[in-house]
Chains A and B, each alone.
Chain A
């Protein structure tokens, strides 16, 4: 049993080891090792495209996570009071949003937006009031990736937060109302603290999904390049250890964040439970 577990962990970590090892390769080709060097880290940091792809991914992922957790939480709160057929429609839409493959979302969004823009752009050009300057030209880019990621992750947040709400102590809310607290106050002082762990979980999940998503962005990113898209096109160009360096850096940053978070939590001495 122990040996088996060890084997599975090896299976999980050998590729990671190879990525890290080859990020220190002095040679140009990823396939053979030419001695130790950290030059590829310098190359990545000096490469404006890699850095911009990273920035794009961070912007897309954080915007997505903020929008998805706010709108998702709002919807989850509201949906408790929606009953009957309308509720069934919402449930079905959320279920479909989560279940549909990313590739279908990407393709569907692409053809829908390209077609819509084809109609809208001439209309905008003709009817745009001149005093507002040039008519905007609608195109795929930040907005389409963020919108598409938010759609999917918002559905995730709704499901997670709703699960938390259903496990919530109703008596508290009723007591608060009995004490003549305004709905707003009840929300801030009673509901929000209770559902906060779920919102946080949803936020993190949304961020992670958006940051790592390749397939949706592949179709809807237009002229923007997110980090996974950059990595994909670099792989096609023949991998240099630069890509391994990017992977190692992302891994190191995530690990550092995790350890720091762990430290802070322990420092506060709170044993916070997630769900």
Chain B
């Protein structure tokens, strides 16, 4: 086998990379978060807890993120589950690959351009106008939380469909037949057989989408009109408008801590449920 020196050598690039591009930047964020803002912006060395004490000034952004990220994840699941179920269980195998590929294809144009298309659809000349013809007047969509949630479901749907599909795919159809032979209604069969089997996929999908949503910037920026603010938007503002690196670092560090905590709790729960 590889000698120990060779093994170490193999680890060198990854170690250097993780140290320079992950550990070092995160350390800088932590150090800066105890500093102060320079007169014209930027960072001035200091040791103060002022930045953390001031976190409440971003309370709404944190609250929005912690509300909209789970809501977005849940809506994604709601839309994705029936689709994944249909693809895994009901569709003729001949069509499966094509339908699956068709879910990924939209991913190949830039997320920016696709989200931009939604600005048009949700704007006054788009969907609200169509609804107006149908007699539903005065609907406003663009620059509302609803618009942001629609954009989120659109952008992250495939990330939810695939894990759920994979777990449902493994479902042995004979189990369902057995359940129905034993007198279970389709709903009971779904609840007792299908649902439990799909839990791992649902858990994976939810975690993927949730993690990405916690750091979301683009969708609220484009579909929220500067009114629907995630922590990601607050961070961009702190670095690209008010140039407060110290406070921005404190907000970033807090976001990371919140994520580590929520994801760890979530994983514990999922693991426990599976045992």
Contact = CB atoms under 8 A, between A and B. Distances in A.
Indicate whether A and B interact: yes
A127 B11 CA distance: 32
A171 interface: no
Contact of B7 (A19, A82, A97, A248): A82
Interface in B209-254: 211-212, 214-215, 217-218, 222, 232, 235-236, 239, 245, 248-249, 252
B47 interface: no
A96 B22 contact: yes
B110 A235 contact: no
Interface in B27-49: 27-29, 32, 43
Interface residues of B, number: 70
Given A71-B13, A71-B17, A99 B106 contact: no
Contact of B239 (A19, A110, A251): A110
A231 B112 contact: yes
Q: Chain B binding site: helix, strand, loop or mixed by DSSP? A: helix
B78 to A, nearest CB: 11
B8 A78 contact: yes
Interface size class for chain A? 35 or more
A75 interface: yes
A191 B73 CA distance: 39
B54 to A, nearest CB: 18
Interface in A218-258: 219, 227-228, 231-232, 235, 239, 243-244, 246-248, 250-251, 254-255, 258
B154 interface: yes
A268 B125 CA distance: 50
Interface of A: 1-2, 4-5, 8-9, 11-16, 18-19, 30-31, 70-72, 74-75, 77-79, 81-82, 93-94, 96-97, 99-105, 107-113, 115, 147-148, 150-151, 154-155, 158, 177, 183, 212, 214-215, 219, 227-228, 231-232, 235, 239, 243-244, 246-248, 250-251, 254-255, 258
